[in-house]
């Protein structure tokens, strides 16, 4: 290990908490071996950790032994450098950077955790008296696109307008209808299956999706979108708590809200940490599962794997849960239309969504029925009933 790694305190600026501990120990004790002895770990653990620190620092533009002494801005990472030397000394240097998506996501996760520390906790509430212990109701809201702007003259739909106000009224109304129309199950699962926000925090700046770069029609500033999204989700979880003894909450990753799904999970986990009747599925892996007796429920937004790939993937990633169950169901969204297929060992449901088509979908000619569906599962017999809600039903009521 080089002297720079051992003794350069500036490397601490790029260190993880554990790397900082190792670095401070090396500086204090004068080497990796005495530092490892003082910390009660192996020398290789210290060496490996500090070697990774050196790589991370270089990616941010700091590696003095290679004449890199100009750290790049937060959220960026080094793409390349060109250095002009004279008499063996650098006299001019060009530094090229690019956005560091992994670091942006890490910043978002850290911000979410910090925000969650100060978030007032929801108080425990009394459970409903009469529920069926064998049943679990799955309420799916996918591709809700809160923050999207749609116009009926572009999508040719009778109720084709969509903005923040319409989204809040429609999503809350449809969810309340699903809850009231479903059996009084002991378990209620709020499956927010991704793309709840039309675009991410960084995407709002340029008006494009964070993955494919599609131009987006947006209603309002990102702060307004966030406020509306949180209000909607708190209300739907509240409806579920009124009806069910236990409520499971899923905030899945979508391709429109890669970063926002991180803070949504962190926020709702913190919000309901004092409510023993709420379980938030806390997973950074975008494949989620829940066991209800002999029934396996699985979710993935659909942006990374196609529906026919999911049975084998879930069997491989969750073999114990797969082996403990007889009835297995995977749920996806992403494509905005309904499709269902029974595979060997798993039934896959691709859900439709509630919002109308935006300009991009209208010009592309993509059409689907706007709806959301509550599915009831029995702990011993799998799926036993369904209730479907459309936005038109709210108008008729």
Give the whole-angstrom CA distance, residue 270 versus residue 14: 28
Task: Please give the mean pLDDT across all residues of the chain.
Answer: 83
- In this structure, which long-range contacts are made by residues 346-349, counting pairs with CB atoms below 8 Å and at least 24 apart in sequence? 346/296, 346/298, 346/310, 346/311, 346/314, 346/315, 347/383, 348/307, 348/308, 348/310, 348/311, 349/375
Q: What is the pTM of this model?
A: 0.71
Predicted pLDDT at 99: 47
Predicted pLDDT at 350: 97
Residues 243-301: tens digit of each pLDDT: 999 999 999 999 888 878 888 898 899 899 999 999 999 998 999 999 999 999 999 99
Instruction: Evaluate if residue 1 carries a pLDDT over 50.
Output: no
Residues 55-112: tens digit of each pLDDT: 777 766 777 766 566 665 555 555 555 655 566 666 555 555 454 555 555 555 555 5
Extract the tokens encoding 225.
Answer: 């979108």
Residues 290-314: tens digit of each pLDDT: 999 999 999 999 999 999 999 999 9
Q: Taking the domains of the chain in order of start, what are their residue ranges?
A: 3-75, 121-396
Extract the tokens encoding 143.
Answer: 């591709």
- For 65, which DSSP code? G
Give the whole-angstrom CA distance, residue 175 versus residue 216: 26
Sheet holding 288-292, edge to edge: 288-292, 295-299, 327-332, 346-350, 339-343
Predicted pLDDT at 170: 96
Q: Which CATH number fits domain 121-396: 3.30.1860.10, 1.10.1040.10, 3.30.200.20, 3.60.21.10?
A: 3.60.21.10
Residue 119 pLDDT class (50, 70, 90 cuts) = low
């Amino acid at each position: 290990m080089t002297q720079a790694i051992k003794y350069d305190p500036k490397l601490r600026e790029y260190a993880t908490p554990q790397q900082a501990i190792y670095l401070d120990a090396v500086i204090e004790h004068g080497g990796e071996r005495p530092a490892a002895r003082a910390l009660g770990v192996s020398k290789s653990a210290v060496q490996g950790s500090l070697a990774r620190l050196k790589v991370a620092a270089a990616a941010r533009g700091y590696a003095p032994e290679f004449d890199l002494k100009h750290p790049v801005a937060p959220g960026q990472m080094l793409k390349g450098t060109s250095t002009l030397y004279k008499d063996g000394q650098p006299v001019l240097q060009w530094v090229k950077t690019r956005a560091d998506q992994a670091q942006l996501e890490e910043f978002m996760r850290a911000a979410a955790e910090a925000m969650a520390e100060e978030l007032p906790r929801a108080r425990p509430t009394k459970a409903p008296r009469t529920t069926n212990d064998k049943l679990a109701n799955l309420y799916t809201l996918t591709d809700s696109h809160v923050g999207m702007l749609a116009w009926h003259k572009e999508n040719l739909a009778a109720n084709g307008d969509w903005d923040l106000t319409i989204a809040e009224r429609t999503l809350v109304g449809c969810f309340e209808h699903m809850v009231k129309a479903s059996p009084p199950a002991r378990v209620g699962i709020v499956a927010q299956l991704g793309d709840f926000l039309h675009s991410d925090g960084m995407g709002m700046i340029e008006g494009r999706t964070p993955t494919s770069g599609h131009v987006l029609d947006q209603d309002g500033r990102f702060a307004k979108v966030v406020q509306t999204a949180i209000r909607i989700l708190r209300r739907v979880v509240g409806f579920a708590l009124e009806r069910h003894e236990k409520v499971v909450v899923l905030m899945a990753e979508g391709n429109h809200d890669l970063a926002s799904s991180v803070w949504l999970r962190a926020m709702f986990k913190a919000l309901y940490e004092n409510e023993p009747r709420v379980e938030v599925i806390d997973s950074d892996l975008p494949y989620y599962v829940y066991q209800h007796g002999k029934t396996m429920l699985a979710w993935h937004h659909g942006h990374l794997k196609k529906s026919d790939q999911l049975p084998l993937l879930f069997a491989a990633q969750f073999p114990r849960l797969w082996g403990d169950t007889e009835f297995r169901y995977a749920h996806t969204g992403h494509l905005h239309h309904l499709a269902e297929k029974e595979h060997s060992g798993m039934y896959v449901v691709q859900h439709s969504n509630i919002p109308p088509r935006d300009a991009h979908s209208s010009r592309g000619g993509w059409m689907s029925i706007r709806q959301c569906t509550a599915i009831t599962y029995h702990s011993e017999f799998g799926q036993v009933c369904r209730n479907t809600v459309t936005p038109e039903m709210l108008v008729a009521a």
